[in-house]
Protein backbone atom coordinates (compact mmCIF):
# COMPACT_ATOMS: atom_id res chain seq x y z
CA UNK A 1 0.00 0.00 0.00
CA UNK A 2 1.31 3.45 -0.90
CA UNK A 3 1.23 5.98 1.94
CA UNK A 4 1.85 9.72 2.04
CA UNK A 5 3.90 10.70 5.11
CA UNK A 6 3.65 14.07 6.86
CA UNK A 7 4.30 15.63 10.26
CA UNK A 8 2.06 17.05 12.91
CA UNK A 9 4.42 18.56 15.45
CA UNK A 10 7.25 16.09 16.04
CA UNK A 11 5.22 13.01 15.12
CA UNK A 12 4.98 11.36 11.72
CA UNK A 13 1.59 10.41 10.31
CA UNK A 14 0.41 8.87 7.06
CA UNK A 15 -2.66 8.56 4.85
CA UNK A 16 -3.10 6.01 2.12
CA UNK A 17 -2.49 7.48 -1.32
CA UNK A 18 -5.79 6.08 -2.62
CA UNK A 19 -7.52 8.68 -0.42
CA UNK A 20 -5.52 11.57 -1.91
CA UNK A 21 -6.80 13.48 -4.94
CA UNK A 22 -3.93 15.97 -5.15
CA UNK A 23 -1.24 17.70 -3.10
CA UNK A 24 -0.79 21.45 -3.48
CA UNK A 25 1.39 24.07 -1.76
CA UNK A 26 -0.03 26.27 0.95
CA UNK A 27 -1.73 29.20 -0.78
CA UNK A 28 -3.75 32.11 0.61
CA UNK A 29 -7.14 30.99 1.86
CA UNK A 30 -10.39 32.86 2.46
CA UNK A 31 -11.40 32.90 6.10
CA UNK A 32 -14.60 31.16 7.13
CA UNK A 33 -16.32 33.58 9.51
CA UNK A 34 -17.29 32.31 12.95
CA UNK A 35 -15.60 28.95 12.43
CA UNK A 36 -13.40 26.91 14.74
CA UNK A 37 -9.69 27.75 14.78
CA UNK A 38 -8.83 24.43 13.10
CA UNK A 39 -10.88 25.37 10.03
CA UNK A 40 -8.15 27.31 8.25
CA UNK A 41 -10.31 28.72 5.48
CA UNK A 42 -11.60 28.17 1.95
CA UNK A 43 -9.47 27.30 -1.03
CA UNK A 44 -10.65 28.32 -4.49
CA UNK A 45 -9.68 25.18 -6.37
CA UNK A 46 -10.67 25.35 -10.04
CA UNK A 47 -13.66 27.55 -9.09
CA UNK A 48 -14.75 25.02 -6.46
CA UNK A 49 -14.84 25.94 -2.77
CA UNK A 50 -12.73 23.57 -0.69
CA UNK A 51 -12.64 23.89 3.11
CA UNK A 52 -9.13 23.42 4.53
CA UNK A 53 -8.53 21.83 7.94
CA UNK A 54 -5.37 22.81 9.82
CA UNK A 55 -4.30 19.41 11.19
CA UNK A 56 -1.90 20.74 13.87
CA UNK A 57 -4.66 23.09 15.10
CA UNK A 58 -7.17 20.25 15.19
CA UNK A 59 -4.87 17.74 16.87
CA UNK A 60 -2.36 19.82 18.87
CA UNK A 61 -4.33 23.07 19.38
CA UNK A 62 -1.68 25.12 17.56
CA UNK A 63 -1.64 26.36 13.95
CA UNK A 64 0.56 24.88 11.24
CA UNK A 65 4.15 26.19 11.34
CA UNK A 66 3.96 27.60 7.78
CA UNK A 67 7.21 26.31 6.31
CA UNK A 68 8.02 25.62 2.67
CA UNK A 69 7.32 21.92 3.10
CA UNK A 70 3.73 22.48 4.30
CA UNK A 71 1.12 21.23 1.87
CA UNK A 72 -2.62 20.99 1.44
CA UNK A 73 -3.60 17.37 0.88
CA UNK A 74 -6.83 17.31 -1.10
CA UNK A 75 -9.02 14.32 -0.30
CA UNK A 76 -12.43 13.32 -1.59
CA UNK A 77 -15.27 14.48 0.63
CA UNK A 78 -16.83 11.05 0.45
CA UNK A 79 -14.14 9.97 2.90
CA UNK A 80 -16.00 12.14 5.46
CA UNK A 81 -19.58 12.33 4.29
CA UNK A 82 -22.06 11.03 1.77
CA UNK A 83 -21.68 14.28 -0.16
CA UNK A 84 -19.37 15.02 -3.06
CA UNK A 85 -16.66 17.62 -2.85
CA UNK A 86 -13.09 17.96 -1.73
CA UNK A 87 -11.60 18.83 1.60
CA UNK A 88 -8.08 20.04 2.22
CA UNK A 89 -5.88 18.78 5.04
CA UNK A 90 -3.11 21.23 5.86
CA UNK A 91 -0.07 19.37 7.22
CA UNK A 92 3.60 20.00 7.89
CA UNK A 93 6.59 18.45 6.15
CA UNK A 94 4.58 16.68 3.44
CA UNK A 95 7.45 15.29 1.40
CA UNK A 96 7.51 11.51 1.14
CA UNK A 97 5.55 8.59 -0.24
CA UNK A 98 6.42 5.08 0.92
CA UNK A 99 5.37 1.61 -0.16
CA UNK A 100 4.24 -0.03 3.08
CA UNK A 101 4.23 -3.81 3.36
CA UNK A 102 1.43 -5.64 5.16
CA UNK A 103 3.85 -6.96 7.77
CA UNK A 104 4.80 -3.38 8.70
CA UNK A 105 1.20 -2.55 9.73
CA UNK A 106 0.15 -3.17 13.34
CA UNK A 107 -3.04 -2.52 15.32
CA UNK A 108 -2.93 0.73 17.33
CA UNK A 109 -2.87 -1.04 20.69
CA UNK A 110 -4.88 1.64 22.49
CA UNK A 111 -8.11 3.13 21.20
CA UNK A 112 -9.47 6.25 22.86
CA UNK A 113 -12.85 7.83 22.15
CA UNK A 114 -11.17 11.24 21.58
CA UNK A 115 -8.72 9.89 19.01
CA UNK A 116 -10.81 7.62 16.81
CA UNK A 117 -8.96 9.12 13.84
CA UNK A 118 -5.82 7.22 14.85
CA UNK A 119 -5.66 4.05 12.81
CA UNK A 120 -3.08 1.31 12.57
CA UNK A 121 0.60 1.93 13.24
CA UNK A 122 3.31 1.43 10.63
CA UNK A 123 6.58 0.22 12.13
CA UNK A 124 9.39 0.65 9.66
CA UNK A 125 13.12 0.67 10.34
CA UNK A 126 12.43 1.02 14.06
CA UNK A 127 10.23 4.10 13.65
CA UNK A 128 6.50 4.35 14.26
CA UNK A 129 4.13 6.15 11.89
CA UNK A 130 0.47 6.62 12.80
CA UNK A 131 -2.02 5.98 10.01
CA UNK A 132 -4.82 8.55 10.01
CA UNK A 133 -8.40 7.46 9.46
CA UNK A 134 -9.41 10.64 7.69
CA UNK A 135 -13.10 9.76 7.81
CA UNK A 136 -12.87 10.14 11.61
CA UNK A 137 -10.97 13.46 11.71
CA UNK A 138 -13.85 15.91 11.52
CA UNK A 139 -16.45 15.96 14.28
CA UNK A 140 -19.90 14.96 13.04
CA UNK A 141 -21.25 18.33 14.16
CA UNK A 142 -19.11 20.08 11.50
CA UNK A 143 -19.60 17.76 8.52
CA UNK A 144 -22.86 19.29 7.31
CA UNK A 145 -21.50 22.84 6.92
CA UNK A 146 -18.14 21.72 5.52
CA UNK A 147 -19.86 19.83 2.71
CA UNK A 148 -22.71 22.22 1.94
CA UNK A 149 -21.48 23.34 -1.49
CA UNK A 150 -23.99 26.20 -1.86
CA UNK A 151 -22.97 27.75 1.48
CA UNK A 152 -19.28 27.30 0.71
CA UNK A 153 -19.72 28.83 -2.76
CA UNK A 154 -21.45 31.90 -1.32
CA UNK A 155 -18.66 32.31 1.27
CA UNK A 156 -16.08 32.09 -1.49
CA UNK A 157 -17.87 34.69 -3.62
CA UNK A 158 -18.73 37.13 -0.82
CA UNK A 159 -15.37 37.36 0.96
CATH number of domain containing 46 = 2.40.50.180
Residues 45-91: tens digit of each pLDDT:
988 889 999 999 988 899 998 888 899 999 887 666 656 678 899 99
Query: What pLDDT score does 81 carry?
Result: 60
Q: How many domains, the chain?
A: 1
Residues 90-144: tens digit of each pLDDT:
999 997 899 999 999 988 876 656 667 788 899 988 899 999 887 777 777 776 6
Contact (CB, 8 A) for 58 and 137: yes
Residue 137 has φ and ψ, to the nearest 5°, of -70, -45
CA 56 to chain centre: 10
Query: In terms of Cα–Cα distance, which of 36, 128, 21 is closest to 78?
Result: 21
Give the residue numbers spanning the domain of 121. Answer: 2-158
Residues 28-46: tens digit of each pLDDT:
999 887 788 899 999 999 8
Amino acid sequence: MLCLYFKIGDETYAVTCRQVERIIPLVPLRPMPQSDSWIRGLLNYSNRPVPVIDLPALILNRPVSESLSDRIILVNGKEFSQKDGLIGLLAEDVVTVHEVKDEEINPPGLELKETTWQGDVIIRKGKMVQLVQINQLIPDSHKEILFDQSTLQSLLENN
